[in-house]
C-alpha cells in the first residue's frame, strides 16, 4: 500500500542572487513499512525534499510545482491547519541536531506530554505513562528519572534517542530522518540506527532516511534514491543501486568510499566540486564533472526506468559492476 507518492516536486528558493532550484522535479513513492534511503552530498536538495513533505519550507523558499499524496491527499494544496494536525502525529521528523526537536528550557516530560496532548485527548497521567513507555522503547535506562531531566543533562546520543521517542510517540505512518546519526560516534550511530529500524519494523512505519553516507543506507534501506543538484539521478532497489550503479555520479560516489579491498590504492575521485546551485550548467547538472560528457548532455536527460524498477537520469548509462 502506498503511503506517500511524491510526483515532480519542485521547491525553489527565490533569493536576491537568483532562483535556487533546490528541489527540481523529484518523484518517488513509499509503501507501508518501507525504508527509503535518500542519498546526496551537501546542496543536493535531499534535506529540502524532507522539509517540503512536512511543509517546513520557509520563505524565500516555496513549493512551486508537483504533488505529494499522503494517503491520497495532496500535502501541497492541503490547508495549513490540516498539515499541522498531521505533523507530529501521522508524519514525524527526526533532525540531525536533536536540539532542533528539544526545547532547552523545558523538561523532557513536559515536552513529551505536550506532543501527545497536541494531537489526542487523553489525561495527563495517561500521557505521562505513554511518554515513559516511549523512552523505554528507545532503550533509555530508568526512563522515570530521565523524564524529569532537562535536555542539557543528557548526552548527544541520549538526546537523539529522546528525539526519536518523540517522533514515534503518536504512532506515525511516516518518519523522515534527516541525517540523524551524522553528529554521533560509530557505536552510538549503530545504536540509533538499531532503535529506528526496530521501531519501524514493529509498527510498520515507513521511513525516509536522508544521509550522505551510502554505507549506512546500504544496510538499512529497501530502496535508494540518489540526488544530485536537486534531481534524483538514480533510484532503485538497494542491491541494484549499490551493486550495479548505472549513473556516472553514483558510480563515482561508490568509488569514493574507502573500502578494504583497495587499501592504499588511490580512490576513484569525482573531479571538480559540488555544484553552485545558482549557476548550474545547462542540461545535465553533472556534465562538468562527468567523464562521459558529450554534446547530448547539453540537453537535460529524462529519467528512464527499466523493468526491474531501476531508474536513471542519464544519456550514458553505465553497465559495469561497481567496485565492491
Calculate the CA dihedral of residues 38, 96, 204, 6 and round it to 10 degrees: -40
String of contacts with other proteins for each residue 140-159, x by CB under 8 A: ---------------x-xx-
Beta bridge partners of 232: 227
As measured in angstroms, the least distance from the Cβ of 125 to other proteins is 31
308 makes contact with other proteins (CB under 8 A) = no
As measured in angstroms, the least distance from the Cβ of 96 to other proteins is 14
255 makes contact with other proteins (CB under 8 A) = yes
Closest residue by Cα to residue 304 from 22, 64, 27, 21 = 27
Q: Judged by CB, which is closer to other proteins: 137, or 197?
A: 197
| Residue 29 DSSP label | E
As measured in angstroms, the least distance from the Cβ of 241 to other proteins is 11
165 makes contact with other proteins (CB under 8 A) = no
As measured in angstroms, the least distance from the Cβ of 226 to other proteins is 11
List own/partner pairs for 318-321 with CB under 8 A and 24 or more apart: 318/245, 318/246, 318/247, 318/248, 318/251, 319/244, 319/246, 320/251, 321/243, 321/244
40 within 8 A of 247, measured Cβ to Cβ? no
Q: Is the peptide bond before 225 cis (omega within 30 degrees of 0)?
A: no
189 makes contact with other proteins (CB under 8 A) = yes
Candidates 17-25, 103-111, 143-151, 188-196 — which segment interacts with other proteins by CB under 8 A? 188-196
89 makes contact with other proteins (CB under 8 A) = no
47 makes contact with other proteins (CB under 8 A) = no
* DSSP letters spanning 197-241: HHHHHHHT-EEEEEES-HHHHHTT-SEEEEEETTEEEEEEEHHHH
309 makes contact with other proteins (CB under 8 A) = no
53 makes contact with other proteins (CB under 8 A) = no
151 within 8 A of 108, measured Cβ to Cβ? yes
Q: Which of 1, 16, 17, 42 lies at the binding interface for other proteins (CB under 8 A)?
A: 42
Q: Which of 268, 283, 292, 318 lies at the binding interface for other proteins (CB under 8 A)?
A: 268
Sign of the CA dihedral 286, 287, 293, 298?
Answer: positive
Positions touching other proteins (CB under 8 A) are: 41-42, 155, 157-158, 185-191, 193-194, 197, 212-216, 218-220, 222, 238-239, 242, 252-260, 262-264, 266-270, 273-274, 324
Amino acid at each position: 500500500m502506498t503511503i506517500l507518492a511524491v510526483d515532480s516536486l519542485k521547491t525553489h528558493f527565490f533569493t536576491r542572487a537568483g532562483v535556487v532550484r533546490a528541489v527540481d522535479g523529484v518523484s518517488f513513492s513509499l509503501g507501508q513499512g518501507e525504508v527509503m534511503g535518500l542519498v546526496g552530498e551537501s546542496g543536493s536538495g535531499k534535506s529540502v525534499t524532507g522539509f517540503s513533505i512536512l511543509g517546513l519550507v520557509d520563505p524565500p523558499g516555496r513549493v512551486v510545482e508537483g504533488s505529494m499524496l499522503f494517503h491520497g491527499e495532496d500535502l501541497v494544496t492541503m490547508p495549513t491547519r490540516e498539515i499541522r494536525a498531521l505533523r507530529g502525529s501521522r508524519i514525524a521528523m527526526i533532525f540531525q541536531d536533536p536540539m532542533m526537536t528539544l526545547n532547552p528550557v523545558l523538561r523532557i516530560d513536559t515536552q513529551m506530554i505536550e506532543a501527545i496532548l497536541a494531537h489526542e485527548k487523553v489525561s495527563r497521567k495517561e500521557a505521562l505513562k505513554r511518554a515513559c513507555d516511549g523512552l523505554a522503547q528507545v532503550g533509555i535506562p530508568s526512563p522515570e528519572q530521565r523524564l524529569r531531566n532537562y535536555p542539557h543533562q543528557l548526552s548527544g546520543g541520549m538526546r537523539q534517542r529522546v528525539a526519536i521517542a518523540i517522533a514515534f510517540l503518536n504512532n506515525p505512518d511516516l518518519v523522515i530522518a534527516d541525517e540523524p546519526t551524522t553528529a554521533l560516534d560509530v557505536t552510538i550511530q549503530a545504536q540509533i540506527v538499531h532503535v529506528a529500524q526496530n521501531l519501524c519494523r514493529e509498527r510498520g512505519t515507513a521511513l525516509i532516511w536522508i544521509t550522505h553516507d551510502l554505507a549506512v543506507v546500504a544496510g538499512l534501506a529497501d530502496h535508494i534514491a540518489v540526488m544530485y543538484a536537486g534531481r534524483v539521478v538514480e533510484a532503485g532497489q538497494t542491491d541494484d543501486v549499490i551493486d550495479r550503479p548505472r549513473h556516472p555520479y553514483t558510480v563515482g560516489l561508490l568509488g569514493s568510499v574507502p573500502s578494504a579491498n583497495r587499501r592504499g590504492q588511490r580512490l576513484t575521485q569525482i573531479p571538480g566540486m559540488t555544484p553552485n546551485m545558482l549557476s548550474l550548467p545547462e542540461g545535465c547538472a553533472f556534465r562538468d564533472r562527468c567523464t562521459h560528457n558529450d554534446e547530448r548532455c547539453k540537453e537535460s536527460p529524462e529519467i528512464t526506468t527499466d523493468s526491474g524498477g531501476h531508474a536513471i537520469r542519464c544519456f550514458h548509462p553505465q553497465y559495469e559492476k561497481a567496485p565492491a
